Structure 1
Amino acid sequence: MIPAILPTYNRAPLSFVNGEGAWLWTEDGTRYLDMGAGIAVNALGHAHPALVEALTEQAGKLWHVSNLYDIPNQQRLAQLLVDNTFADTVFFTNSGTESCELAVKMARKYWSEKGEDRTTILTFEGAFHGRSSAAIAAAGSEKMIKGFGPVLQGFVQLRWGDADALRAALTDDVAAVLIEPIQGEGGIRVMPDADLQALREMCDETGALLILDEVQCGMGRTGLLFAHEWAGVTPDIMMVAKGIGGGFPLGAVLATENAAAGMTAGTHGSTYGGNPLACAVGARVMELMTEDSFLPRVNAAAGRLRQGLEGLVASHPQIFGEVRGAGLMLGIKARVPAAELVQQAYAQHLLTVPAGDNVLRLLPPLNITDDEIAAALDRLDAVATALERVV
């Protein structure tokens, strides 16, 4: 008999009833250190007081009116994003998947409005852009698309890091290039700054729009508000979600005025996107992340965590390989199945996230403390020691 919840998840036998900061509690009071943050969603940890206050205050006033009307919180958050990024305009969604759908539509509408038949979008193997029809077509992996055909046309997947293949494929009839500056699900693979700069130049040469998927690597995760800032480039369109809502479902598409020119009244919409509750929380997240002291603290914590992980690699070479990533979006390439590391971490009351290429992901809250980093490293050390006894 099929369960009441559609069985599409391979869930761990854990259930949490309370959270605070980087910690979660089960019903029996067992405490777990959360180094996954809901897959980079709880950017400020669980139950952050300022976010609870923002949500509670708004919940007592107004929940939903639809986008038939002006929404002050939406305008407030949009202005914060425009003021702090490359963007001239913002559309709010409920998730990263929805942001992908709009990014694809926006790029194709841009060329349609120009009277040019440019619909091809270049993407990269190992990518993850969501689970909608457009998102799985963009990723193109057999795991994502098998059984869901016919697959949406117009996407060409290239090898990750193959500059020659990219240059050959990026011709004058390509509409856009869609890429994650750091692949999350693909195994914490970082696009070097020089490669991102070269990609921006190639897009400028051919007119193709550059779409960045910063759903996982954005919102302070790498130590700057968005990962592309390290390379000193700007996209034409950017997908955002996860950390922007601090745990409340919220996403966005940011764009330049030029890239968004085709998106006029009636070309796109969302019933819930940008609702008063989500935008009240999102605005508070943005206010906290743009405080002068916030990102320097993220970078300090990232340095401490990475140094500790490098030490674990040196101490447990049978278990851990290289450390990957940037900021507090880090991964360890495992020498044993990463799934075994995740399972063994449960025994140490530590929550981590698996990724492709046999990588263990660490995506802690951005306000994680030094003591919590030390505790995470101690628990990972115990995980490795336990596995060394059986390998």
Structure 2
Amino acid sequence: MTTNGDLLGRYGHALLGVFGTPALVVDRGEGCYVWDVDGKRYLDLLAGIAVNALGHNHPELVGAVSKQVGEVVHVSNFFTTRAQIGLAEALLRAAGAPDGSRVFFTNSGTESMEAAIKLARRTGRPGLIAAHGAFHGRSTGALALTAKAAYREPFEPLLPGVTHIPYGDPAALAAALTPEVGAVVLEPIQGEAGVIEPPPGYLQRVRELTRDAGVLMIVDEVQTGIGRTGDWFAFEGAGIVPDAITIAKGLGGGVPIGALMTFGPEVSGLLQPGMHGTTFGGNPLACAAGLAVMATITRDGLLEHSARVGEEFADAVRALDHPLISGVRGRGLLRGITLTEPVAPTAAARAREAGFIVNPVAPDVLRLAPPLIITGAELTTFVDALPGLLDAATS
């Protein structure tokens, strides 16, 4: 019998070591659970980092992908398909996009951000503003916007003209909006920084400042989009219309796909034929998956479900009144449990031993981004276990 240890040894000899050694080898999944090759079951409270929106082995997603494989998988960007057109239309409807808005499909969130950077540079002003704590991807363009020094420094010099400002500080943004700036790129909730929400009114003020300055407002919805926060997109909660958004992660339910959505004809017209492209972006297989995800979210009321069970979960964690828990951040089913001591990595390891997958996104923050189909009862099993896991992390 092949074990986790056997396979991880082979992994170390075959895979480039950019991820270190994985924690386990996942063999299969069903609903909100996965099993490793040793047969141990885990409640997946991370969903592939906010990717597996419908959990694992969902019949609608499996059926849609299987059907598409039997028809056509790839056609190149010389042609289009029903699935590609249908998914673009569904995304525009979900975002409430005005007439003249458009979608460009990619294969990942990073590729979506690269497209957004090219869109911004088409304004004729090369400067970009991003936030401290931001994570926008690891390709060289997206990395220039990403703030973490450990990610950036080995690859500098990066794309010039990027200014990082404090997140949630409108005055700092106003001071940074020079005539050279073409776009401001922000996450509506900073995921990799520890599930950090901006102060009330911040996104509205960013929209006012960028509009007054004639600067694009680009919202990175890669982690927060597709129902993760209880709305299709997190920017909706602010009542604003950005100039563009980037999408990925949950859109394909695990099948790689991303998108750049531009709002209105003026912004959509910045990228003309021949200015950008991709071989695999918008392929019929990925678009069929995206259609199945969006249709299932709508049919099963998963937006409302995410908002409700996410808030119930946050209330239950706060009600534990555990000395190591200082609060719960986030919205919907994107949550960060903040701790009073930097024990998140150890707590996550204890959780995995107990059959729960969570992410120590910061030394003092446990991030949860479970499938949107997760039930309150399933979340309760983790809440009930959490005090013991935290106690074990400090013993």
Do the aligned partners of residues 13 and 174 (structure 1) sit closer, same or farther apart at CA in structure 2, a change above 3 Å counting?
closer
Deviations 1:266-297 (A, max 9, x none): 00000000101000000111112233722121
Alignment map for 1:237-276 (pairs within 5 Å):
237-256=244-263, 257-276=265-284
Query: By how many angstroms is 1:382 displaced?
Result: 2.4
Query: By how many angstroms is 1:385 displaced?
Result: 3.0
Structure-1 separation of matches of 2:306 and 2:215: 34
Match of 1:364 in 2: 370
Match of 1:53 in 2: 63
Do the aligned partners of residues 357 and 210 (structure 1) sit closer, same or farther apart at CA in structure 2, a change above 3 Å counting?
farther
1:165 aligns with 2:178: no
1:301 aligns with 2:301: no
Structure-2 separation of matches of 1:237 and 1:159: 21
Structure-2 separation of matches of 1:177 and 1:102: 14
1:29 aligns with 2:42: no
Q: How many residues align?
A: 380
- 8 Å CA contact retained: 2:344, 2:362: no
Query: By how many angstroms is 1:17 displaced?
Result: 0.7
Deviations 1:345-372 (A, max 9, x none): 1111110012136311011111101210
Query: By how many angstroms is 1:307 displaced?
Result: 1.1
Match of 2:338 in 1: 333
- 8 Å CA contact retained: 1:172, 1:208: no
One-letter identity of the residue aligned with 2:238: A
Task: Give the secondary structure class of the aligned counterpart of 1:66.
Answer: coil
Deviations 1:237-273 (A, max 9, x none): 1000000011110100001222121211100000000
Match of 2:386 in 1: 380
- 8 Å CA contact retained: 1:18, 1:24: yes
Match of 1:115 in 2: none
Task: Give the secondary structure class of the aligned counterpart of 1:264.
Answer: coil
Task: Give the secondary structure class of the aligned counterpart of 1:252.
Answer: strand
- 8 Å CA contact retained: 1:128, 1:139: yes
- 8 Å CA contact retained: 1:187, 1:356: yes
Task: Give the secondary structure class of the aligned counterpart of 1:346.
Answer: helix
One-letter identity of the residue aligned with 2:75: V
Query: By how many angstroms is 1:209 displaced?
Result: 0.5
- 8 Å CA contact retained: 1:333, 1:357: no
Deviations 1:137-184 (A, max 9, x none): 112432111221221112100112222211111234321100000000
- 8 Å CA contact retained: 1:348, 1:382: no
> Which of the residues 45, 70, 73 maps onto 1:63?
73
1:324 aligns with 2:305: no
Q: Which runs of 5+ in 2 are unaligned?
A: 1-9
TM-score (norm 2): 0.93
Match of 2:105 in 1: 92
Structure-2 separation of matches of 1:220 and 1:239: 14
Alignment map for 1:129-278 (pairs within 5 Å):
129-256=136-263, 257-278=265-286
Structure-2 separation of matches of 1:68 and 1:213: 28
**Sequence identity (%):** 43
1:72 aligns with 2:120: no
Query: By how many angstroms is 1:324 displaced?
Result: 0.8
> Which of the residues 337, 341, 348 maps onto 1:342?
348
Do the aligned partners of residues 356 and 385 (structure 1) sit closer, same or farther apart at CA in structure 2, a change above 3 Å counting?
closer
One-letter identity of the residue aligned with 1:55: V
Structure-2 separation of matches of 1:77 and 1:121: 30
> Which of the residues 128, 131, 142 maps onto 1:124?
131
Do the aligned partners of residues 59 and 362 (structure 1) sit closer, same or farther apart at CA in structure 2, a change above 3 Å counting?
same
Once superposed, what is the RMSD of the aligned Cα atoms?
A: 1.6
One-letter identity of the residue aligned with 2:387: D
- 8 Å CA contact retained: 2:311, 2:331: no
Deviations 1:46-65 (A, max 9, x none): 11110000000001111111
Query: By how many angstroms is 1:38 displaced?
Result: 0.4
Structure-2 separation of matches of 1:57 and 1:148: 43
One-letter identity of the residue aligned with 2:379: I
Structure-1 separation of matches of 2:158 and 2:336: 31
Query: By how many angstroms is 1:3 displaced?
Result: 2.4
Do the aligned partners of residues 234 and 43 (structure 1) sit closer, same or farther apart at CA in structure 2, a change above 3 Å counting?
same
One-letter identity of the residue aligned with 1:104: I
One-letter identity of the residue aligned with 1:108: R
Structure-2 separation of matches of 1:228 and 1:192: 14
Match of 1:281 in 2: 289
TM-score (norm 1): 0.94
Alignment map for 1:304-315 (pairs within 5 Å):
304-312=312-320, 314=321
